[in-house]
């Protein structure tokens, strides 16, 4: 009888210990290995990955204008600045550096926009196939050009192809007045055949701005270039 009681007491003790461990286990937070924290230049503590920003050549217009796409594969907004193209020969030897005329371009996470690099020399950029791109990220909180000055949210774009040009209306739904930059890329058989860009006059808060973007033309004879598609891009707005 005494031996049976001892066994029963031991069994009860084991059950109680197991129950206590189970209760404790439910209150221990296990690390979530599948969670990745993303942030942007507006959030403290974590920086954007430059490797997730991809710049690619779209085409060459008028020999001197290299049209490029800029894709932000981060999950947060970045302000891309000081974009440049490195031109190399077929052997990979450096020839020249050309700077982008746009600066401080805000791009939301997972989005892309279009800009251009302009060459002031009398040579055809289409002759060069070996082109690499570089850039910086503006994460400044102060100074002359803080990143917060450059925005791309809360705008409505209305596009009208008049048959002579592309007329664009920009509705500024922000609480600040801005200057906005707009461009259009023209395509023929999926190839770039034209490019035009404009900066608006100052657009007051909750007001509209207007720009006209010219059709592509042949710089040798001035004739219009045929196109079968086009895309208008809102590049950026700078708070005034």
pLDDT band, very low/low/confident/very high, at 35 (cuts 50, 70, 90): very low
Dig out the tokens for 16 from the structure. 């109680």
Task: Give me the mean pLDDT over the 40-68 stretch.
Answer: 81
The residue that leads in pLDDT, 237 or 14, is 237
| φ, ψ at 189 (rounded to 5°) | 55, 40
Q: Which of 236, 165, 175 has the alpha carbon at shortest distance from 205?
A: 175
| Beta partners for residue 171, in sequence order | 156, 208
Tens digits of residue pLDDT in 110-155: 999 999 998 888 789 999 999 999 999 999 998 889 999 999 999 9
Q: Which residues pair with 71 in a beta bridge?
A: 54, 112
* pLDDT surpassing 50 at residue 27: no
30 vs 237: which has the higher pLDDT: 237
pLDDT value at 12 more than 80: no
Beta-bridged to residue 68, according to DSSP, are 57, 115
In terms of C-beta distances under 8 Å and separation of at least 24 residues, what long-range contacts does 154-158 make, across chains too?
A: 155/180, 155/234, 155/237, 157/182, 157/232, 157/234
Q: pLDDT tens for residues 174-198?
A: 999 999 999 999 999 999 999 999 9
Compute the distance between CA of residue 36 and CA of residue 56 in angstroms, rounded to an integer.
Answer: 27
Residues of the chain above pLDDT 70, percent: 80
- Residue in the block written with tokens 């809102």: 234
Per-residue pLDDT band at 38 (split at 50, 70, 90):
very low
pLDDT at 144: 87
The gap from C-alpha 129 to its chain's centroid, in whole angstroms, comes to 24
Beta-carbon contacts of residue 60 (< 8 Å; ≥ 6 apart): 66, 67, 124, 125, 126, 192
Q: What is the mean pLDDT of the chain?
A: 85
Residue found under tokens 């490797």: 51
Residue among 80, 192, 63 at smallest CA distance from 118: 63
Rounded Cα distance, 181 and 196, in Å? 11
Asked whether the beta carbons of 213 and 194 are under 8 A apart, the reply is no
- Rounded CA gap, 199 and 168, in Å? 11
Structural tokens at position 98: 């050309």
**Which residue spans within the chain are E strands per DSSP?**
53-61, 65-72, 78-88, 94-99, 105-107, 112-118, 130-137, 150-151, 155-161, 165-172, 178-188, 191-199, 208-214, 229-239
Residue 101 pLDDT: 85
| Percent share of the chain, pLDDT over 90 | 71
Instruction: Determine contact, residues 80/159, Cβ cutoff 8 Å.
Output: no
pLDDT of residue 16: 62
Predicted confidence at residue 28, as pLDDT, reads 33
């Amino acid at each position: 009888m005494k031996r049976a009681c001892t066994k029963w007491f031991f069994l009860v003790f084991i059950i109680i210990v197991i129950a206590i461990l189970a209760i404790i286990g439910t209150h221990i937070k296990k690390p979530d290995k599948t969670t990745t924290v993303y942030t942007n230049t507006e959030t403290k503590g974590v920086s954007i990955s430059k490797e997730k920003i991809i710049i690619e050549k779209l085409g060459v217009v008028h020999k001197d204008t290299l049209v490029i796409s800029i894709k932000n594969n981060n999950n947060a907004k970045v302000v891309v600045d000081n974009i440049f193209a490195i031109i190399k020969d077929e052997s990979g030897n450096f020839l020249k550096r050309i700077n982008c005329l746009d600066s401080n371009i805000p791009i939301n996470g997972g989005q892309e926009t279009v800009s251009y690099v302009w060459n002031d020399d009398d040579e055809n950029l289409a002759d060069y196939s070996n082109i690499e791109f570089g850039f910086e990220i503006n994460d400044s909180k102060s100074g002359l050009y803080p990143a917060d000055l450059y925005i791309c949210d809360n705008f409505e774009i209305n596009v009208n192809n008049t048959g002579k040009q592309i007329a664009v209306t920009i509705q500024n739904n922000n609480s600040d007045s801005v200057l906005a930059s707009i461009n259009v890329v023209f395509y023929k058989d999926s190839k770039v055949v034209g490019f035009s860009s404009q900066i608006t006059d100052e657009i007051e808060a909750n007001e509209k701005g207007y720009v006209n973007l010219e059709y592509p033309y042949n710089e040798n004879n001035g004739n219009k270039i045929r196109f079968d598609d086009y895309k208008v891009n809102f590049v950026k707005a700078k708070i005034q």
